Amino acid sequence: MENIVIIGNGIAGITAARHIRKLSNKRIIIISGETDYFFSRTALMYVYMGHMKFDHIQPYEDWFWEKNRIELVRGFVTQVNPENKQLLVDGSRAFHYDKLIIATGSKPNKFGWPGQDLHGAQGLYSKQDLDLLEVNAPNKDVCKRAVIVGGGLIGIELAEMLRSRDIPVTFLVRESSFWNGVLPEGESQMINEHIREHHIDLRLSSNLKEIVSDENGKVKSVVVAETGEEIPCDLVGLTAGVTPNIDFLQDSGIELGRGVKVNRFLETNIKDIYAIGDCAEQHQAIGNRRPIEAVWYTGRMMGETVAQTICGNRIEYKPGHWFNSAKFLDIEYQTYGWVFSNRGRKDYEEHFHWRHPEEKICITVAFHKENNQFLGINTFGIRMRHEIFDRWLTEERSLDYAMEHLIDANFDPEFYKKYESEIVAKFNSDFGKSIKSKKKNLIRIFQFN
Amino acid sequence: MSTYDRSMALTGQPPKNLSKNQKIATLIGMFGLAIMLLAAFNVSFPNKGMWLTISLSAIFAGTLWFTWDSYSQKLPGIKNDGVWFKSISSKGLWGWMAGIALTGFYIVLYFFPEYLGLVRGGENKGVIALFDPLSKALSGNPASQWFVYGSLYTVAILAFGIKFMWKYRHNRYERIRTMSVMFFQTAFAFIIPELMARLNGDKILNGGSLPYYDLKNVWPLNYYNFEGYRIKSFLSSGDIGFALLIFGILSVFVITPILTYRYGKRWYCSWVCGCGGLAETAGDSFRHLSDKTVKAWNVERWVVHSVVVFVTLMTTAVIYSYLGTDTSKYWLTKSTFLIGVAGLLTVVFAWVMLFKREQLQKDAQYGAVGYFVIIMVLLGIHFFSGDGNVFLFKSETLRKSYSFLIGSIFSGVIGTGFYPIFGNRVWCRFGCPMAAMMGFQQRLFSRFRITSNGGQCISCGNCSTYCEMGIDVRAYAQKGENIVRSSCVGCGICSAVCPRGVLKLENGPLKGRIDGNQVLLGNDVDLMQLVNQK
């Protein structure tokens, strides 16, 4: 029986294990230094906020693993030895593998800021980071102010977490507007407003110069590069993105770039070693995607793909249409297809933007200037149906078709106010068109002919 | 291990502490309750009408002030901060104390109403006397322990209903649903039956008197609706009485199946029902305490369906016991009735086994066959032996044990008393035969489902945690499967708390409803086909 060893029990590794078990009878061993059981990383914030206990963010009951003959090993892999197909856990226990899947995820970026390793300076990625946060910022008396460095998804989540315990938060964002390397201008502006509504001290175009230590080696304050202002604080959240967690592979002979280099089959340069999830780096980016995609969904998709390959059905990693989602405090965000920010915008890409006059609701639709093809949509505060946009993108529908049938894609709960007529009216006036909204049609949505 | 401590203090750190306003609000509410408690211990209040008003107003005002302070300063959105830190909502000391107090109240209410001041055939005393003015104003009669209970129940649904609507003010489904629950409780459960009592003896009823009838309380939840004394009352109360009896029958066999087909059982469980109403409003703070394990699910399936069998047998026996044998007097006789029951059960059983068998798990099939055989044998034994005891027991014994075990202990003492320990839907999930019957239809023959949105699930677990019925919603959502579970009451909270917009309650075509979309969108089509191969 073949021995499959998976390093990492995150969504990528676990999905691979589950699908290998579905397809085969191979022996499966998962090694993790982080936790005994798989948990949803994206839900760590809710544990700190008291919405859930840690148990709740574990998607499978504890008996699941034994029942499915998935062996779990707790420990850090310290060395991988491809010559004799062996790896060492915690420097001592040796494991043999026939096939090895590296799914070790990421670690928070640190860019060499002075003081970045002081007590009270931390990232937010792992279970250990969460435990550390309970030490550094258990309440507003111990943590009188927190400064968060880095305006991305983890930064805004950390801000939300700390605010749930009434801890004052200063949020340093390098860009001139929140996440505007990804979001188009109007959306980014709306999120700026929303962050401030939540009483978060948002500082745009602000970089961290240094973190100042007190006499005990603990964070005392941070200095802002642009203004020289010193902000006293007890916690510094370092949330300027993540980087693949692959240091233990330095001398293994596996080809590394920023991540573990893989081809489209998720194979590394060494036979029988694969890499998936956050830590994998494509030689060449796929379509408009980045070579490293630290996203829950891509981790899951790579896990499904590599399981097929390992079980004898070698197939390429071919992600479908891009999609993603997030929640910025109270505002839900979904995206389907490609809508680029001002920075990343293609020459052929044009946008239509609509924003509700009072509420924090908006959408941006991207389309092709010349042939009017629908390219993608960002929605804030309106839920949309994944299946519909996936279908429209595959069918290469026109912008006009998408606007006409926008109601079919609405996924808001029943009785919610619908905005399609306002959206289409604005669209018509922006582009001199006379599109009429179709009525919602279940037959179209569920595709019954 | 978690590093937080679950303090019982009302002070402490946000989000688990109470603000100054919330403390005052709690005191005001407690003051209202204290008046009733004092009355229960026979402290005599001179002006009962005034003190009752003060007491109920204080409870109302306290709840609303607390609500105002909790939500008015916050932006609309999910308000679950600190739920698992607060002692009252995480089975801490306050939770246990509340549970014990509630349980105690139910025991006194059901079994020792004299401690509440009930005096049969005399002037009420204690807390029941406190409610006399209100009862007399409504029905003209003095209060009973049930009137006290009904009033408090309504106050709880109204006050906590407003709290719930404020908490979910961004969610129109929740707001409308809660208004519906508040309306049905106040109008149908509380006011209309009391006003109906004023008609008793009137010539409009031919001088008869109607039984106390909450029109929205459908058999088998209303397990006593077809008992002999009620049938007599209905039939002796003219056209109105007869119409009500017909309505009672139609609501079981026509109205319920049609609405459940169109909207799922939520039309009742989370929009109309009083038990559901209390669970959704006063019980909302405890919804996350339900047990989500597969083990609990297995217990649930056996227990709740056994209650259905029990109530069917009991009701059959009770109706049988007062029917006659002479066809010339009345077309419905003991034997036609038994044949009718057997026929109906056979039709349902045959339909499921012929057309829906593949949708039932193995143990569910065994259970269905087993229960069907048991019922048929019991019917048969009687039919061919023809003695007075149907089903080995006297109908009165069956009725009494059902009323005690299910009607009182399960639905009241455990169902509501244990809110702070087992969650707010224990009765609905493990005990309610009405919920089980509608659930059976919902699973097999209804347009309702919760759609999972393609591949957007991040397995965070908010949906499962906040499911009051203990459904592991995430288990389906993370596979991209629709959720079609018989126990789902359609409260919509899974959809509300989902941070990624994955879940939507909707009614749609039956085709493809269950295996709607067993693929996680995002991959290319070839791989999805491979993954979907079974």
CATH code, B478:
3.30.70.20
> What are the two backbone dihedrals, phi and then psi, of residue B309, each rounded to the nearest 5 degrees?
-60, -45
Same domain flag for B426 and B476: no
CATH fold of A323-446 reads Enolase-like; domain 1 (3.30.390)
Domain at A121-240: CATH code: 3.50.50.60
Would strands A219-224 and A208-213 be described as parallel, antiparallel, or unpaired? Answer: antiparallel
Report the residue from B82, B505, B522 with minimal CB separation from A319.
B522
In this prediction, residue A444 carries a pLDDT of 86
Report the residue from B77, B81, B505 with minimal CB separation from A49.
B81
Same domain flag for B67 and B181: yes
Q: Which has the higher per-residue pLDDT, B510 or A14? A: A14
Q: For the beta carbon of residue A132, count every other beta carbon within 10 angstroms.
A: 18
Same domain flag for B425 and B457: no
**Chain A residues with CB-CB distance to B4 below 8 A:** 50, 134, 138
> What are the two backbone dihedrals, phi and then psi, of residue B140, each rounded to the nearest 5 degrees?
90, -5
Q: Do B456 and A334 touch (CB under 8 A)?
A: yes
In this prediction, residue B293 carries a pLDDT of 96
Report the residue from A61, A139, A414 with minimal CB separation from B293.
A61
Q: How does the average pLDDT of chain B come out, rounded?
A: 89
Same domain flag for B410 and B491: no
Q: Is the pLDDT of residue A197 over 80?
A: yes
Alpha-carbon torsion, ordered B175, B179, B180, B182, to 10 deg: 140
Q: With beta carbons less than 8 A apart as the criterion, state whether A252 and A81 touch.
A: yes
How near does any CA of chain B get to the CA of A293, in Å? 14
Radius of gyration in angstroms for the set of CA atoms belonging to chain A, rounded to a whole number: 24
Alpha-carbon torsion, ordered B228, B231, B235, B237, to 10 deg: 110
Q: How far from B330 is each of A228, B17, B226, B301, B334, CA to CA, in Å? A: 97, 67, 17, 39, 10
Q: Is residue B92 part of a domain?
A: yes
Q: Which among A96, A158, A170, A86 has a CA at the least distance from the CA of A129?
A: A158
Q: How many domains does chain B have?
A: 3
Helix (H) or strand (E) holding A230: strand A230-232
d(CA B157, CA B274): 9
Structural tokens at position A311: 């079980």
Q: Which domain holds residue B423?
A: 294-431
Of B140, B163, B198, which residue sits at a domain end? B198
CA atoms within 13 A on the CB side of B424: 24
| Class of residue B514 by CB neighbours under 10 A (exposed 0-12, middle 13-18, buried 19+) | middle
Cα B135 from chain centroid (whole Å)? 25
Q: Do B176 and A416 touch (CB under 8 A)?
A: no
Residue A395 forms contact with B (CB below 8 Å): no
Q: With beta carbons less than 8 A apart as the criterion, state whether A234 and A137 touch.
A: yes
**Chain B residues with CB-CB distance to A20 below 8 A:** none
In this prediction, residue A278 carries a pLDDT of 97
Same domain flag for B368 and B470: no
Q: Is the pLDDT of residue B8 over 60?
A: no
Same domain flag for B155 and B75: yes
d(CA A4, CA A99): 5
d(CA A246, CA A45): 25
Alpha-carbon torsion, ordered A22, A23, A29, A34, to 10 deg: -50
d(CA B310, CA B317): 11
In this prediction, residue A139 carries a pLDDT of 94
Q: What ipTM was predicted for this assembly?
A: 0.95
Which sign, positive or negative, has the C-alpha torsion B319, B323, B325, B329? negative
Q: Do B499 and A332 touch (CB under 8 A)?
A: yes
Instruction: Name B444's bridge partners.
Output: none
Q: What ranges in B169-293 are assigned the alpha helix state H?
A: 172-183, 192-198, 228-235, 238-250, 256-263, 266-269, 274-281
Report the residue from A59, A138, A387 with minimal CB separation from B521.
A387
In this prediction, residue A448 carries a pLDDT of 64
Q: With beta carbons less than 8 A apart as the criterion, state whether B161 and B64 touch.
A: no
End-to-end Cα, chain A, rounded Å:
47
In this prediction, residue B517 carries a pLDDT of 54
Cα angle for residues A291, A293, A299 (degrees, 5° grid): 125
Structural tokens at position B284: 């909302």
d(CA A127, CA B400): 55
pLDDT confidence bin for B2, thresholds 50/70/90: very low
Q: Do A386 and B455 touch (CB under 8 A)?
A: yes
Structural tokens at position A73: 């090993």
Q: Each residue of B415-435: pLDDT tens digit? A: 889 999 999 999 999 999 999
Q: Each residue of B43-62: pLDDT tens digit? A: 888 888 999 999 999 999 99
The DSSP result for A285-350, as a single string, is --TTS-SS---HHHHHHHHHHHHHHHTT------B-S-EEEEEETTEEEEEEE----TTT--TTEE
How near does any CA of chain A get to the CA of B454, in Å? 5
Q: Is residue B55 part of a domain?
A: yes
Helix (H) or strand (E) holding A6: strand A3-7
Q: Is residue B482 part of a domain?
A: yes
Q: What percent of chain A has pLDDT over 90?
A: 96
Q: How does the average pLDDT of chain A come out, rounded?
A: 96
3-state secondary structure of A202: strand
Q: Each residue of B141-170: pLDDT tens digit? A: 899 999 999 999 999 999 999 999 999 999
Q: Is residue B272 part of a domain?
A: no
The DSSP result for A89-145, as a single string, is ETTTEEEE-SEEEE---EEE-----TTTTSBTEE---SHHHHHHHHHH-SSTTT-S-
Same domain flag for B417 and B521: no
Q: Do B465 and A49 touch (CB under 8 A)?
A: no
Same domain flag for B464 and B418: no
Q: Each residue of B267-300: pLDDT tens digit? A: 999 999 999 999 999 999 999 999 999 999 999 9
Of B198, B223, B247, which residue sits at a domain end? B198
Q: For the beta carbon of residue B483, count every other beta carbon within 10 angstroms.
A: 23
3-state secondary structure of B175: helix
Same domain flag for B395 and B472: no
d(CA A82, CA A150): 38
Report the residue from A50, A56, A298 with minimal CB separation from B81.
A50
Instruction: Name A32's bridge partners.
Output: A74
Q: Which among B78, B381, B399, B116 has a CA at the least distance from the CA of B230?
A: B399
Q: Is residue B467 part of a domain?
A: yes
Q: Give CATH 3.50.50.60 domain extents, chain A.
A: 3-107+243-310, 121-240
Same domain flag for B455 and B367: no
Residue A330 forms contact with B (CB below 8 Å): yes
Mean pLDDT comparison of A181-190, B198-207, B504-513, highest-scoring range: A181-190
**Chain B residues with CB-CB distance to A54 below 8 A:** 2
Cα A130 from chain centroid (whole Å)? 17
Q: Which among A239, A106, A232, A112 has a CA at the least distance from the CA of A174?
A: A239
Same domain flag for B140 and B34: yes
Q: Do A334 and B521 touch (CB under 8 A)?
A: no
Report the residue from A52, A59, A414 with minimal CB separation from B84.
A52
- Among chain B residues, the shortest Cα distance to A449 is held by B511
d(CA B174, CA B492): 7
Amino acid residing at B405: L
Q: Is the pLDDT of residue B3 over 70?
A: no
d(CA B51, CA B53): 5
Report the residue from B86, B293, B527 with minimal CB separation from A304.
B527
> What are the two backbone dihedrals, phi and then psi, of residue A380, each rounded to the nearest 5 degrees?
-125, 120
- Segment A54-68 shows an average pLDDT of 97
How near does any CA of chain A get to the CA of B424, in Å? 17
A residues 426-445 lying closer than 8 A (beta carbon) to B: 442-443, 445
Instruction: Name A146's bridge partners.
Output: A169, A235
Residue A305 forms contact with B (CB below 8 Å): yes
Q: Do A40 and B85 touch (CB under 8 A)?
A: no
Report the residue from A164, A416, A442 with minimal CB separation from B172.
A416
Same domain flag for B371 and B494: no
Among B285, B453, B476, the strongest candidate for a mutation testing the A interface, having the largest count of A CBs within 10 A, is B453
A residues 3-62 lying closer than 8 A (beta carbon) to B: 11, 19, 40, 42-43, 46-47, 49-54, 56-59, 61
Q: Which CATH number fits domain A3-107+243-310: 3.50.50.60, 2.60.120.260, 3.40.50.10310, 3.40.605.10?
A: 3.50.50.60
**Chain A residues with CB-CB distance to B462 below 8 A:** 43, 46, 51-52
Among B449, B523, B530, B533, the strongest candidate for a mutation testing the A interface, having the largest count of A CBs within 10 A, is B523
pLDDT confidence bin for B521, thresholds 50/70/90: low
Among A35, A53, A394, the strongest candidate for a mutation testing the B interface, having the largest count of B CBs within 10 A, is A53
Cα angle for residues A52, A384, A105 (degrees, 5° grid): 50
- Among chain B residues, the shortest Cα distance to A414 is held by B173
- Provide the 8-state DSSP code for A149: E
- Among chain A residues, the shortest Cα distance to B457 is held by A297
